[in-house]
Each structure stands twice: as structure tokens, then as C-alpha cells.
Homo-oligomer: A and B are copies of this chain.
Amino acid sequence: MPRFNLSFFQDLLSTISEQGHRLVFQNVVSGSGQLVPELVERLLSGQGEASGIALARELLNGYASLDQNEKREFFEFLLNNYGPDHDAIASAVQKYQSQPEDETAIQLFEASEPRRQELLRRLNLASGATASLVAMRSDLITFLKDNPALKAVDRDFYHLLSSWFNRGFLVLRRIDWNTPAIILEKIIQYEAVHAIKSWEDLRNRIEPKDRRCYAFFHPALADEPLIFVEVALTGSTPDGIALILDMQRTPSLETDATTAAFYSISNCQVGLKGISFGSFLIKQVAEELKRDLPGLKDFVTLSPVPGFKKWLDQERGLKKSEFFTSADNELLSQLENESWLDEDANGELSSLVLNIASRYFLEARDPRGRLVDPVARFHLGNGAQLEHIHWQADCSFAGLSQSYGLMVNYLYDLAVIERNHESFMSKGLVVASAEVEKLKKTKKTKQRNRSERDV
């Protein structure tokens, strides 16, 4: 594997340092991208330590001025030139094998660290660099599909960002009508579950006394929420989203509330993909609310079921599904026509769909053996339990096209959360309420209906 031609850069560098700061910068900005490599080398070589911050800043600016194609090339350059140092590894392996001890193992660890990691640490010297690195990774992620080899580079980003965005560094802040607009507009932009249509819609979710919104922030990303959750304080577990988002409703007193309903959780930063904040957020918000409002008894979500429709449609296309009969399938064909929305919620169709949905959660598994639904995996993995499944609970376009309008409540019972978590993790056990278990066992089928009619 050909390494970087240092003598060429050495020459260049002496010229550059003669001409000083401006020229390097200008060439990078000119978009040729050719000088980025030297910047990388100088930053890593440590020769430039005295001006490490300035070098890091230049390189970040240089990167920002690249077009999409050049950015991809930049990551490929990192992939090809700043991965593990195989000479160093070979020598460390040899040493380890002759003396397999902790000391030599640690040397092996240090020798095998891809050089990119040190590069990222040094880039982070510049003030504001953390935000730039998060943005850089969000670019990188878009290239992974076409060039899976770049995953090695992504792993280095992930390694450092997950250390830097450790829970211990996050700050929980309430989002309300007193929050600066620059943050609020990002809440509007990042809401991923129930789109916020306008500033009035936003206000309706954060200003009334019976609404809350909290976000995690990182000190190095001042105006950027990392993840946020929207909460409705209610008198009972909500069974649909429409009433919660209703712009005309009359707010009630927060002190009357018995239930905190987490109805939307959105990750904000693509560049932090894979670093999980949601579990911490829900638990800390629950504690915060509990302290403020001792009247709160239940902490539940009102969650979408984003994988249900796709899964059901697939099952229906199979010759034979293990979750329903052909007669059922015929009944399900009503779902192909929107008129089913006007039908009785207590009818055959609803009974059937709820029965299938309960089995979707309790029995269906994807090829990797996991629960099909990603939202279910998240909450059950957090130790929540599946409490209710609601029929026609989100009849928006998104709700219908993801889950035929179903929504569910996951219950966060702090007393049993850890036990649930452990049995889910170790044995894959889904803890569900008696109600959901019952749904699994009953369905009004045509037959039964007929026989009822016959009687």
C-alpha cells in the first residue's frame, strides 16, 4: 500500500510556511482540494503543534469548501492513507507473541489504532470543530451506500463521537416559549414523528401549561438540540394523536395531570447516528416531571408503529401467513379501500387487525430474529412494556401509510424497568399488558360473526 509522498510535501511546506497563513488557506478555499492532504499530514505530524489550532481550523474550512465529489474523495483519501499502520502492527504483534502480557497487549492496542482517530482528535482542537466533525460524519454517511469500504472511516468517527457525546456531557434543557427562536426553528425542522406545521403548531406543543418539551444539548454544539421529546400531561392514557395535537383544545392545569404521555421523540443529528440518547432522555425527563409534579402516576408513550403496514402487506402477499387465515386475508382486503375508515371501530376488521397487531409485537420476528418494529425495539429495549394498541389512533397520511392508523402505548414503570430490560435483552421476552395478551387470543372472525348472526 503506497504511503504518502512526504518529500514532495516537505518541499511544499517550506514554501508555504515562508508565505504564511493566507496562502495555504486560499488555495484550499479555491476548491482545488489539492492542498488538503498536506494539511492532514502537517496536523498529524505534530510538526505544526505550535499552530495546531490554526491548522485544524484551516483543514475544516478547506473541507467545508469542497463539493460533494471532492468530499467523497477526501474520505477515500483518509481510508487509503490514514488507516492502521501495518508495519507498526506487525512489529507489535511479533512482540506480543513473544511476550503475551498486558504491557505488550496495550502496545498492540496503541499500534493498531487507525491514524484517523488521532487526526479527528487534532481537528477537534479548533473551537467550533465538534460541530464541524458531526457535520462531516453526516456527509460521510451519505457515501457509505455507494462505497461500503468507507465504513472503516465511519467507525473511527463513531468511536470518538460516542466518547465525546457520552451521557455525562449532555445537558437537559426545557424547550418552551421562552427558548430562543434559533433553537425553536430546529425543533420544527427536526420533528420526525408528527410534523410541526407552523410556529403556531409549535407554540401549541410547548407553551400550554399541560405540555412539555425537553432536549439534550452538548456544550460544544450550543444551538443544536441532539434529541428532544414532546410530552402531554393528561388525565388518562391517550388513545390517539388527534386530540393531543388539536390546536383548538383548552389546556388543563398541569397539577391535575396523572399521566405524562411522551408522544414524540426525535433524533436531530444525522452525524451522531448510532449514538443512543433516547433511553437516557426518557428516564431523566420522567424523573424531572415526577419531581415537579408529584401528582403524576403513569409515564407512557403514544407511539407510532412504523413497520406494521409494510409487514402486514408482505404477509398478505405470502401464500400462507402464520398470523392469519385466508378468510382473514379476504377481510383485510377492505384496507385497500379508504372506506374502511368510516366503519365501526368495534367491528370484525378492527378486531382482526388488533389481533394481528398483537402478534406482530409478540410473535413476529425479522430475519435477524428481532422484533420487526424499530420503535418497539427501542422502548422494549429500554425496559418499557407494551400497554395498549389503539385502533384508528393516527389517521393522518403518515399514520395510515405506516401502520393503517394504529398507535400504541408503551408504559415506563420505573419500578420494573430494569427487570423488563434484562429479560428482553437476555431472553427476547416482550413484556405486555393483560389487555394486549388478550388481544392475541381473540378475534371476531366472519365465522363466529356468522354463527352469531345465525343465532
A→B interface (CB under 8 Å): 17, 46-53, 79, 83-84, 86, 89-90, 93, 96-97, 100, 102-103, 105-106, 108-109, 112-114, 121, 124-130, 152, 155, 160, 163-164, 166-169, 171, 177-182, 184, 199, 203, 219-220, 223, 279-280, 283, 382-383, 417-422, 425-426
The copy count of this chain in the complex is 4
Chain B residues with CB under 8 Å of A383's CB are: 50
- Most chain-B Cβ atoms within 10 A of its Cβ — which of A50, A96, A97, A100? A50
Q: Which of B90, B127, B180, B421 contacts A168 (CB 8 A)?
A: B127
The smallest C-beta distance from A5 to any residue of chain B, in angstroms, reads: 19
Question: CB distance A417 to B114 under 8 Å?
Answer: no
| A203 CA to B180 CA, complexed, in Å | 12
Question: CB distance B168 to A177 under 8 Å?
Answer: no
Chain B residues with CB under 8 Å of A420's CB are: 50
Question: CB distance B125 to A168 under 8 Å?
Answer: yes
Q: List 10 A-B contacts (CB under 8 A).
A: A49-B425, A50-B418, A50-B421, A51-B417, A53-B283, A89-B100, A106-B114, A109-B114, A112-B112, A180-B181
Question: CB distance B53 to A167 under 8 Å?
Answer: yes
Chain B residues with CB under 8 Å of A283's CB are: 53
Chain B residues with CB under 8 Å of A47's CB are: 422, 425-426
Question: CB distance A50 to B109 under 8 Å?
Answer: no
Q: A50-B422, A180-B180 are in contact. Are A84 and B102 (CB under 8 A)?
A: yes
| A422 CA to B52 CA, complexed, in Å | 12
The smallest C-beta distance from A214 to any residue of chain B, in angstroms, reads: 15
Question: CB distance A53 to B130 under 8 Å?
Answer: no
Q: A50-B417, A181-B184 are in contact. Are A108 and B112 (CB under 8 A)?
A: yes
Question: CB distance A83 to B102 under 8 Å?
Answer: yes
Chain B residues with CB under 8 Å of A177's CB are: 180-182
